[in-house]
Structure 1
Amino acid sequence: MPIVTEDAAALPGGYRHIVLSPHLDDAALSCGGLIARATAAGEPVLVVNVCSGSPPPDAQFSPFAQSLHERWGLPPDAVVSHRRAEDAVALRVLGADALLWPALDAIYRRSDAYHDETSLFAVPAVDDPLRGVVIDLVALLARRYPQADFYLPLAVGMHVDHQLVFTAATAALLDAGAAVAYYEDFPYARQAGAVAQRLALIGHANLAPRLVPLDGALLAAKIAAITAYASQLAALFGSAEAMPAAVTAYAAQVAQPPLSYAERLWVRL
């Protein structure tokens, strides 16, 4: 049975792959095939859900946060616990362990700065505390798992939490000399030109694509895992029914012959 814990000290040694997931769904959405492939080969995977903390019981939610709760169909006092439960099911499908870090999602952490869709997908606030949180967290993981490969969001789509994890974790991991690869944030990567636009923004001369081959079984495992995030599917794909086709189409789009399906990473040269 996969481990799900809030205590990094309770984790075992020996992880070969560590995936930093800004939210409680990003790892499965973006690299669920990679995770399933690794665990099927007997290679332990740890998913670190960075922004999985619960707002305090007396939290006053902004109108924007309330509108998202309504879109997800979740009561405000149970949003995070419900999403944690969804994630536990998804990662059990993929065979990965999970570390639940108590950082707050942007809409709870800085409701003054991230108060609508436009500000949530813009330049992060200069004094956003998530930067320091990610640097300390990643430095801890890199010391404990020096042989692990780390996977970070490329921040396609420009969600502020994805951008902050990208920049802060990159700095900490390069300083530690760790192996780093970037996954294409799905479903944002589906948008025409979105990946190319992000690569142009960050400067991609030192990055090269690497495909992760997926067969039918691995693709099915990824889709099954994503299905667990029932509260998010309508917002992400229009409907739960539309999700499998969207996932399959993108996996086929990034694959190159003789592959039928793949996920694409970007690795440092």
Structure 2
Amino acid sequence: MMQSRARLLVVSPHLDDAVLSCGLLLAANPSAIVCTVFTAPPPENMSTDWDRQSGFTDAFEAMQTRKQEDIRALQKLGAQPVHLSFCDAQYLLTPSPDDLTGALRRTLNEHSPENVFFPLGIFHSDHTLVSDACLALIDVMPDTAFHAYEDVPYRQRQEAVSERIEELTKRGYALSPTTDVSAPVNAFSAHEQIKREAIAAYASQLRAFGPQGQSSLYSTEKYWRLQRASS
């Protein structure tokens, strides 16, 4: 069983994904690293639908505030933030797969985690890009255990998880459900409360999700161990 002392790093596409999908895992593993990929504003300011729904007038304001929200959320979980300087898809400046894979490899080498958790890669192009970049590291980091987490809230989409697993299986990866990475049963209630407090720190994103979207954020966390399938 994975112990809380294990060096653990969670790769988060956006400034909230790790907490939404892995908040209980993070609460059970103090001092974990959360590496968020898309945290940079665009070179020239702009205003997007999502940022306006979040209550921001422009991208510069959005990214500055969202990073502050992320720091507060991770403080509640005892986790350490690492913010990479890539722009998410809404800012029309998506990094190349090679650039992203290289940056993630440097981050993992710097922190030497025993276990890495990354998005399964459902629906959102940023999530799929990050997932594929992490998959590329499995072969070159054999001493690190890689796990995928089911992306909240996108895993609510019908058959999205099974379709992605089928795709990865065809690409030569073996996925096995992981059931022993969260908190002991007697600590679940306390960790659930901490996770809810951490999610609440993302006030702008909760505003954009709206009441209906928020209802899907508090679902059971699910993880998969990923390895190269035996030939």
TM superposition score normalised by structure 1: 0.72
Deviation at 1:67, TM superposition (A): 1.8
Measured against aligned partners, the alpha-carbon deviations of 1:204-226 in whole angstroms (never above 9, x if no partner) come to 76101112445111111111111
CA distance in 2, matches of 1:199, 1:96: 29
Greater relative contact order (Cα 8 A, min sep 6): structure 1 or 2?
2
Q: Aligned pair in 2 of structure 1 residues 87, 106: CA closer, same or farther (>3 Å)?
A: same
CA distance in 1, matches of 2:177, 2:6: 24
Matches within 5 A, 1:142-157: 142-156=108-122
Residue 255 of structure 1: aligned partner:
none
Deviation at 1:167, TM superposition (A): 0.8
Matches within 5 A, 1:226-237: 226-236=199-209
Please provide the CA RMSD for this pair: 2.2
Residue 176 of structure 2: aligned partner:
208
Instruction: State which of 166, 190, 215 in structure 2 corresponds to 1:217.
Output: 190
Output the amino acid matched with 2:38. C
CA distance in 1, matches of 2:110, 2:52: 40
Residue 89 of structure 1: aligned partner:
72
Residue 128 of structure 2: aligned partner:
163
Instruction: State which of 48, 51, 56 in structure 2 corresponds to 1:66.
Output: 48
Q: Aligned pair in 2 of structure 1 residues 144, 68: CA closer, same or farther (>3 Å)?
A: closer
SS in 2 for 1:189: helix
| 1:33 paired to 2:20 | no
Deviation at 1:149, TM superposition (A): 0.9
Output the amino acid matched with 1:239. P
SS in 2 for 1:104: coil
Contact 1:103 1:133 in 2 (8 A): no
CA distance in 1, matches of 2:162, 2:57: 37
Deviation at 1:15, TM superposition (A): 7.5
Instruction: State which of 127, 137, 146 in structure 2 corresponds to 1:180.
Output: 146
Output the amino acid matched with 1:203. T
CA distance in 2, matches of 1:247, 1:159: 16
- Mark the runs of 5 or more structure 2 residues left unpaired by the alignment: none
Output the amino acid matched with 2:41. S
CA distance in 2, matches of 1:145, 1:49: 14
TM superposition score normalised by structure 2: 0.83
Output the amino acid matched with 1:209. P
Output the amino acid matched with 2:146. V
Contact 1:46 1:98 in 2 (8 A): yes
SS in 2 for 1:170: helix
Instruction: State which of 79, 93, 97 in structure 2 corresponds to 1:131.
Output: 97
Instruction: State which of 10, 15, 22 in structure 2 corresponds to 1:19.
Output: 10
Output the amino acid matched with 2:132. T
CA distance in 1, matches of 2:211, 2:85: 29
Instruction: Show structure 1 runs of 4+ deviating over 6 A.
Output: none
Q: Aligned pair in 2 of structure 1 residues 32, 130: CA closer, same or farther (>3 Å)?
A: farther
Residue 102 of structure 1: aligned partner:
85
- Mark the runs of 5 or more structure 1 residues left unpaired by the alignment: 1-13, 111-127, 252-262
Deviation at 1:147, TM superposition (A): 4.7
Q: Aligned pair in 2 of structure 1 residues 25, 130: CA closer, same or farther (>3 Å)?
A: farther
Q: How many percent of aligned residue pairs carry the same amino acid? A: 31
